[in-house]
Each structure stands twice: as structure tokens, then as C-alpha cells.
A and B are shown apart, each in its own frame.
Chain A
């Protein structure tokens, strides 16, 4: 019985856990702020063209984008493809994508929604033109081209 009483008096005091919530919240906030930007992983090569006239996006909520570029995985070929959200999409699926993106928006925001192209600089305009036609059919006429800040001479 006395076996258990031996250590009495020599224990370390318990480490205060009062700051644990703070640390947890700090981590939480940190991850919250950093994980917002990547909502889908790119299946296509996506090196945007450079431009020096581009403006910043103010309200991210009003912008929907689709990606166009050669697939990163060679087994899907080398021709530029469209990526809608997380999957490859065909030109015919663009209209569905437009309607789907508008569903979640409020009625006030609907006419303000801009559809953007995140197109790889080496993609050809043919596929982009096809998508533009689909957007026109869906009456989504406000469009945007995503670019990187830089000199035009970097578009090589």
C-alpha cells in the first residue's frame, strides 16, 4: 500500500492550460485565412498571361471562373481543355455551369456576376471563343480575363 504514497511532494505542478484556447483559435484563424484561396485544384496548366492594366477584384463573391489550358496529366492529351470547378468539362457543359453558379447568388447579385477566364497563356483562342459563345447564349455578358501583373514582354 505504501508503494503509491512514495512520490508525494515531488510532483511537478500542472502546466496551466488557460492559454490553450488562444493557441487553438490562433491556429484556426491562421488556417481559415490561408485556405480560402484554393477552392479547387487545377487539372490544367494554368500560367496566366501578364498584363499591366489589370484591376483588382473587389468582391470575390461576384466572380465565377473557369480554367482553360492543356491538361497537366498527359494521359488526357495535350489539347487545351476546360475545367469547370473540379472536373473537366466540355463546351456544352458551360451553360449548365453558368446556371449552376447563378443559383447560389442572391437576386440582387445575379446581374452583377462576372464570368472569368483563367486561361493558360499558351492555350489557343479557339476554345475560348467557343466558351464565349456559350456564355452569350446564356446571356452572361460580363466577362473577365484573369492575368498576372507584369510587363507584356513577359508574354513569351
Chain B
């Protein structure tokens, strides 16, 4: 009987299909990109090294979290929702005079609060051993948010650029004069609002 020969399937386009699929999967599989909050630790000093750094009370933004996750800011209870604004107010105060005056601060210039964010103002975050990680992270997040807000303000004023876009552009830029220029800008903004958060444990 005349059984028909099946014609050979043209495999020429198979590679194209394979690549199409490959590209499809490459695009759609979102690698869960890790997100982080960065911090810096102070160097370890041996116990006998007695280094006393004297900082005026008014230049320290005291944050204390108890083991029950109760938040105390400057010895007063505070809701976590209000922390960001309180931190901004503290940093932006600019109460210093003379060489400590802060030209870019827009705060109340309260002489009882911080002098200058670039040189004087420090955040002190003290936690208990029993403090929960989620509370601690929330506080960290709010403090970083305060810095980001102020950096963003200065960045918009100086370079007419969002702080976030500035950092993003810097990260994505390939090494070269453009990257160097961006780095200079970032450094300038960071110098205005240096992140000074001291983390310690209540012993």
C-alpha cells in the first residue's frame, strides 16, 4: 500500500524557538533581590582603653528601646510613627552659632537642640537585649528615612536631583568621569548630613 513518507520536520527554526523561550524565562524570573539597611559599627576598643568623648547633651538624640519594645525618645515615650519627624527636627535644628552655625538647616534654631548636623549632632540608639528585631528595624528604618529626607532636600537644592536617583545613577554608572562626578556630588551631600547613629546595648 502507498504509505506516505512523512516529510522531515524543518528544524531550522527550532533554535529560534529555544532562544525565545530562554529569553522569556530570563526576563520573567525575577531574582529576589536582597534589600538592606546599612549601618556602621564603631571599632572595638579593649576594656582598659578609656576613651571619653564629651558630647554636649543637646547634641545627642537619645533613643531608648526597652525589652517590651517601648520607645523612649529624649526620655519621653513616643509612638514609632512620630520618630521620623522628631529625628528630622533634631537634625535640621541648626541651633549653633559662630563656627557651628548651619547655613542649610531650616529648623527652629532652638538653642536647646542640636547645633549642626555635619559636625555635632549624633543619634544614640540604645536597645535592651530583649528588644525584638522588628522594633529595632523599624527604628533603624525611621532614622535612615530622616537622613534620606534631609539629604534629598539638599540634593534637590544643590543639584536639582533626587537623592534616590543620584544614588541609583551612581550605582549604575560605569567607571569614568561621569561616575566620578556623581561620586563627588554624593560625597558633598553626605558631608552635609553624615549618618551618625551610635548603636549600643543597655547592659
Q: Could you list which residues of chain A lie within 8 angstroms of chain B, going by C-beta atoms? A: 9-10, 12-13, 15-16, 18-19, 22-23, 25-26, 29-30, 33-34, 36-37, 49-58, 60, 63, 68, 114, 116, 119-126, 128-129, 132-133, 135-137, 139-149, 152, 155-156
Contacts and interface: CB of A to CB of B under 8 A. Distances in A.
Nearest to A49: B137
B199 A132 contact: yes
B201 interface: yes
B85 to A, nearest CB: 14
B36 A123 contact: no
Contact of A145 (B11, B36, B132, B142): B36
Q: Which of A18, A29, A129 has the most CB of B within 10 A?
A: A129
Contacts of B132: 121-125
Q: Which of A15, A29, A51, A142 has the most CB of B within 10 A?
A: A51
A51 B38 CA distance: 12
B43 A22 contact: no
Interface residues of B, number: 54
Contacts of B141: 51-54, 147, 152
Given A16-B9, A19-B15, A29-B26, A143 B41 contact: yes
- The majority secondary structure among interface residues of chain B is mixed
Contacts of B3: 9-10
B177 interface: no
A62 B38 CA distance: 13
A49 B133 CA distance: 7
Contacts of A133: 44
A33 B37 contact: no
Contacts of B14: 18-19, 22-23
Contact of A63 (B9, B34, B199): B34
- The majority secondary structure among interface residues of chain A is mixed
Contact of B26 (A33, A119, A137): A33
B51 interface: no
B97 interface: no
A12 B6 contact: yes
A113 to B, nearest CB: 13
A16 B37 contact: no
Counting from the closest, the 6 A-B pairs by CB-CB distance are A19-B14, A126-B129, A49-B137, A22-B18, A54-B35, A136-B44
B127 A145 contact: no
A15 B8 CA distance: 7
18 contacts: A13-B6, A13-B8, A19-B11, A19-B15, A30-B22, A34-B29, A53-B144, A53-B148, A54-B37, A121-B132, A122-B134, A123-B133, A139-B44, A141-B43, A142-B38, A143-B41, A144-B39, A152-B80
B35 A149 contact: yes
B44 A129 contact: no
Contacts of B140: 51, 145
